[in-house]
Every structure is written in structure tokens, then in C-alpha cells.
Amino acid sequence: MKEIIIVALGFSAGGLNPLKKFFNAVLHDHVSYIILRHIPKGYQSALQEILQRHSKLTIVEATDGMKIKKDVVYITPPFAHMTVRNETLYLHTRRLEPGGNWAVDIFLNSLAETDGNRIAVILSGAGSDGSKGIVKLKSAGGLVLVQTPESCEHASMPENAIATGTVDYITEPGKMPEIIQQHVETIMDTLQPFKNNGTV
């Protein structure tokens, strides 16, 4: 059984402030965070520097083949989409995206196929990216949290996610880390007997 717990956060328009509220409430909880966003390919974002002011965790821009570690926040670079396999991140050159940007679905689909503990968070954004991915992740045993539409600047990503019927919690971003922490504690309690038997 895998001990790396991955939380994937997807957002688009209006997602920066909710993201800051989320990380203001995050503790060192032995979780790895993956940030998936809609961003123009050539745009030089200051997201890493901005988030570092709201978190004590290590925040890095992901590189191809990077191993996932606990208490680290990984940001997808603007030129790539990202997938995960065997607790390793892989970058894929972004191509023409018919119908919109699918960065969240692409990652969540790969996350659902990995062993281990998976959590998806959908924040403010336009469109339906993430909706297909959370269905697949939920069917694989994952946990899904979505920002309350009324607290979003752009509500269609959360609304489309909620419409799938696979969402576990609909809440404000600042309350999500506590829910995740409780979920993590349950997972770690489950793992403890395996550790004691030397099977992890």
C-alpha cells in the first residue's frame, strides 16, 4: 500500500484567491499537492512566489521525471500538461486543445490509474475541465472536494463537477484542508497495522 497521499487542485479563472485561502489553512500533513491550472502557454506566472507567501511548504515548478515527496507543492509549468505514474511526474508538451484546456482531466485521469491515496479539489473556474477526471478518480476510491459555487468568481467548473454526482464535500476553500487532514489521519491509522507487521 502506498503512503504518498496526493491532492490535486484544479482551477481556472478566479481560482487564485481560493487557492491562497486553501494554503493559508494547510499544515505539514504529509501530503503532496499538485496544482493544475489554465494558463496561456507562453505566460510567465508568479504563482510559485505568491503561494510561498501563503504556505510553509516547499513549492516547486515540476520537471519531467520528478519524484513526488511529502509536504511539497508541485506547479505544472505553462508549456506542459502533466501526468503521474509510480509517484513520478511526467510533462507532456501542450498541443492544440479543441474545446478548451483539459489540464485537470488529463492529470486526474492518470492519478486515478495509480496505486495509493488520491484526493481531487476543484476550485473556481470556467468550463467543465475536471468533471470527467473526478468521476474516474471517485470510481477508483478517491476523495473529491469542490468549492461552493456561490463563493466562486467563476462557478462553472465547480457546478459541472457537482453535477456528476461524485463529489464528497462542497465547501469553502479555507475549510478544505481540515477535511483533508481528517481523511489523511484515517488513512494513516489504516496503514499503521501494515507498518507494525513490516508489510509497508
Active-site hit among 29, 32, 38, 124: 38
Q: Where are the alpha helices (DSSP H) in the chain?
A: 16-24, 47-52, 103-112, 131-139, 156-163, 176-196
Report the alpha-carbon distance of residue 6 to residue 163 in Å, rounded: 24
| Residue 12 falls in the annotated catalytic set | yes
Report the alpha-carbon distance of residue 91 to residue 66 in Å, rounded: 9
Report the alpha-carbon distance of residue 21 to residue 177 in Å, rounded: 10
| Residue 115 falls in the annotated catalytic set | no
The three cell numbers of residue 2 are 502506498
Active-site hit among 110, 129, 151, 154: 129
C-alpha 176: how far from chain center: 12
By annotation, the residues acting in catalysis are 12, 38, 129
